[in-house]
């Protein structure tokens, strides 16, 4: 795998632009939902990213980090109460790229049940929450190496989760989201 490009930086620019659009607002709120099945290898990359991000940032009045698991629709109640301006889902996604590649996934690329292992297709949930919460919604996908039941999270999945959590934390800091006190 030496020399193989593991992550494309375009997703960083897209996230930065979304956060910059919120910058003029002192009360902007961002929610991050890690999605995936814990027992399905790299399908758990969204969950690991959420855990790593939470360790770096803690919950804040203007930042909510949740684990949606294999049933991300189960966090719609906390999201509704939080009322985010930007909602970011993180999930394993077949991008057709090398394992560990990180990209934003356009809504039209999100298929139904063939796209994910979740009970409700993620696109339907994203569309619903975008309309219900009147917020911008984006999906950051990580190319899995495998998502077989019982398989461990791969090294490329673990590294991608660490890179993603670090970049999210960096961008949230730059956008001023981490300047308020943590919630306990």
The rounded percent of the chain whose pLDDT value lies above 90 is 58
Report the pLDDT averaged over residues 11-31. 88
> What's the chain's Rg over C-alpha atoms?
15
pLDDT tens-place string over residues 60-74: 889 999 999 988 888
pLDDT tens-place string over residues 113-141: 434 444 668 888 888 888 889 999 999 99
SS3 string, 92-118, reads ECCCCCCCCCEEEECHHHCCCCCCCCC
Average pLDDT, the chain: 86
pLDDT tens-place string over residues 25-55: 778 999 999 999 999 999 999 999 999 999 9
Backbone angles phi, psi at 141, to 5 degrees: -105, 150
- Classify residue 159 by its DSSP letter: H
Domains of the chain (ranges; CATH) run 10-174 (3.40.50.1450)
Q: Which residues contact 182 (CB under 8 A, 6 or more apart)?
A: 57, 58, 59, 60
Highest mean pLDDT among 51-55, 110-114, 179-183: 51-55
């Amino acid at each position: 795998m030496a020399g193989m490009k593991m992550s494309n930086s375009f997703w960083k620019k897209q996230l930065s632009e979304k956060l910059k659009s919120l910058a003029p607002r002192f009360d902007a709120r961002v929610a991050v939902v890690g999605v995936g099945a814990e027992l399905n290898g790299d399908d758990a990359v969204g969950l690991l990213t959420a855990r790593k991000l939470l360790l770096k940032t803690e919950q804040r009045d203007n930042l909510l980090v949740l684990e949606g698991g294999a049933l991300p629709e189960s966090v719609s109640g906390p999201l509704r109460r939080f009322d985010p301006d930007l909602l970011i889902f993180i999930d394993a996604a077949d991008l057709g790229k090398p394992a560990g590649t990180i990209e934003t996934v356009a809504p039209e690329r999100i298929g139904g049940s063939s796209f994910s292992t979740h009970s409700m297709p993620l696109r339907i949930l994203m569309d619903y929450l975008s309309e219900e919460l009147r917020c911008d919604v984006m999906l950051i996908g990580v190319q899995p190496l495998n998502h077989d039941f019982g398989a461990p999270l791969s090294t490329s999945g673990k590294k991608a989760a660490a890179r993603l959590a670090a970049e999210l934390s960096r961008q949230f800091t730059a956008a001023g989201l981490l300047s308020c006190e943590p919630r306990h």
